[in-house]
Amino acid sequence: MIQVVLSLPEQPDVLIVDDNSPDGTGSKVNEIIQSNKKVNLISRSGKLGLGTAYIEGFKFALAEGYDYIIEMDCDFSHDPKDISRLLKEIDDYDLVIGSRYIQGVNVVNWPLKRLILSMGASFYTRVITGMPLKDATSGFKCFRKEVIQSIDLDKIHSNGYSFQIEMHYKTWKKKFRIKEMPIIFTDRIDGHSKMGKAIVREAIFMVWKLRFPFLIRNK
C-alpha cells in the first residue's frame, strides 16, 4: 500500500498510525523509513481506539504544516489511486468524502448484514442531525487544514466508527464546503473488521449527543 501511494503523481507523504499490530506493521514501516523520508510512523502501545489514532495523525499533520490531510484505511479497502481524485476535488471544497452511497451502492465483499448496518447508520444520522450526507461513516476523505484547525480535537468524544460521523458533523455545522465523491469500497482481504456491539452503541448515542449537545456531560 505505501509504495502505491508514494508512486502517485502528487507524491504525497505518508503517515502510518500503528497500534502494535500483530502482523508486524510497525517493523515493516520502519524498514521503509530507512530509505524514504516521505514515510512516517506513530507507534502506540496497544489498541487505543480508532478515534485517538486519527486525532494523533491530524495533530502530526498540522504540526508539520501540511495543507491537505487525507485519511484512509491501509488494507486496500480504499483504492489509493482515488487519492488523486480527492486532491483534484479539494480545489473547490473544504472536505471531500469518498462516498460508497452517493451513486447507488458501491461496496464489494460485504455481507448483507454489514451493508444494512452501514447504510442504516447514515440514514439514521441524516434523520436525527439533518446533515445531508449519504455516507456519514466513510473513512476515506481529504480535509483542508483549516477544517482540522477549526475543530478542538481534544473535545472529540468518539473513539469508534462514530468518530467519522462526529468529524463530518462538526465540519458541516461550521459551514465548510463538503462534497461526496463516488468510490468503490472493497472489504479487506486480510484481517477482520473491528465492529463490535460497543462501537455500535457509541454511534447510536453519539448522533443524539451531536444533535442535542446538552446530553454531553463532562466527567
pLDDT for 21 equals: 85
Range 115-142 average pLDDT: 97
**Which amino acid is it at 133?**
L
Which residues, 6+ apart, have CB-to-CB distance to 67 below 8 Å? 144, 145
H helices then E strands: how many in the chain?
8, 8
* Distance of alpha carbon 206 from alpha carbon 211, whole angstroms: 9
C-beta separation of 148 from 69 below 8 A: yes
Q: What is the mean pLDDT of residues 185-214?
A: 81
The rounded distance, in Å, linking the Cα atoms of 206 and 219 is 16
Q: Cell numbers at residue 85, please?
A: 481524485
Of the CA atoms within 13 Å of residue 76, those in its CB half-sphere come to: 9
Domain containing residue 135: CATH number? 3.90.550.10
Residue 5, pLDDT score? 97
What share of the chain has pLDDT > 70, as a percent?
95
* Secondary structure of 79-124 as H, E, C letters: CCCHHHHHHHHCCCCCEEEEECCCCCCCEECCCHHHHHHHHHHHHH
Mean pLDDT lowest among 117-121, 159-163, 212-216: 212-216
- Nearest Cα neighbor of 94 from 62, 131, 59, 69 is 69
pTM above 0.85, yes or no: yes
Query: Domain residues for 206?
Result: 2-215
Per the structure, how many domains does the chain have? 1
Percent of the chain beyond pLDDT 90? 82
The three grid cell numbers given for residue 86, joined into one nine-digit string = 480527492
pLDDT in tens, 132-175: 999 999 999 999 999 999 999 999 989 888 999 999 999 999 99
State the average pLDDT over residues 53-82.
97
Q: Nine-digit cell at 195?
A: 465492529
Q: How far is CA 57 from the centre of its chain?
A: 11
Q: Is the pLDDT of residue 3 over 90?
A: yes
